[in-house]
Amino acid sequence: MTKRTVVPGEEVAVAEEYMPDRGTYEYDGKIYSALAGELELDKENMVARVQAANPINLLKSGDSVFCRVTDVRPAMAICEIIGTEGKDRAITGETSATIHISKLSSEYVQEVGKEMRPGDLVRAKVIQTVPSVQLSTQEPHFGVVKALCKKCRSPLVCQGRSLRCDPCERVENRKLADDYGDVHF
């Protein structure tokens, strides 16, 4: 089997010799790569396939992700997903997501802004991917994992069920993940 690196649109074989398979397509008697990756010309089965260089990391329901809150509205938090927990690969596709007020906590939430603030780092569970990415932080392990003081930008430390800024002697509230402060990036 011959292997080499190819780019999308590159001619990799002729249709007389090979059949297109995963990652390739036929056009006008020639086989082209649809992906960037490693070409495999399988002489035995007479197929040409391309293995993607970076296997895609598509979000799916149930995934645990880390995201940063970019905006807070009365009924939802807007987030940018940074990565999937336990995976090094970047996410392929949509990284903008929302946490609706009803999915933020298992307890009643009056206003999203009282539980999350722009800049907060949050662990959330993907509950929907199409047509938009929706996240939930209802379970104890989900919620804010790192937050900065609104006034002085010092990291807030956990104090019971609240967060405290020592320099300002202020207390802020968040929907906290059960391991707040212990998550390192």
Whether 77 contacts 71, CB under 8 Å: yes
Which range of residues in 21-29, 52-60, 111-119, 162-170 is near Zn ion by CB under 5 A?
Answer: 162-170
**How many residues are given for the chain?**
185
Which range of residues in 21-29, 87-95, 120-128, 145-153 is near Zn ion by CB under 5 A?
Answer: 145-153
Which residues make Cβ contacts (< 8 Å) with residue 70, sequence separation at least 6? Answer: 78, 79, 80, 118
> Of these, 76, 109, 149, 176, which contacts Zn ion (CB under 5 A)?
149
CA separation for the pair 61, 140 (Å, rounded): 18
Kindly tell me which of 124 and 149 has the beta carbon lying closer to Zn ion: 149
Q: How many residues bind Zn ion (CB under 5 A)?
A: 7
> Of these, 76, 78, 165, 176, which contacts Zn ion (CB under 5 A)?
165
Which range of residues in 41-49, 96-104, 113-121, 165-173 is near Zn ion by CB under 5 A?
Answer: 165-173
Whether 122 contacts 115, CB under 8 Å: no
- Can residue 148 be called a binding residue for Zn ion (CB under 5 A)? no
- Can residue 157 be called a binding residue for Zn ion (CB under 5 A)? no
Whether 26 contacts 70, CB under 8 Å: no
CA separation for the pair 173, 159 (Å, rounded): 10
Residue 40, CB-side half-sphere exposure with 13 Å CA sphere: 13
Q: For residue 74, is the peptide bond before it cis, meaning its omega torsion is within 30 degrees of 0?
A: no
Q: What distance lies between CA 126 and its chain's CA centroid?
A: 9
Give the nearest distance from C-beta 113 to Zn ion in angstroms.
18
> Of these, 151, 173, 178, 183, which contacts Zn ion (CB under 5 A)?
151
> Of these, 10, 38, 168, 181, which contacts Zn ion (CB under 5 A)?
168
Kindly tell me which of 30 and 170 has the beta carbon lying closer to Zn ion: 170
Residue ranges in contact with Zn ion by CB under 5 A: 149, 151-152, 154, 165, 167-168
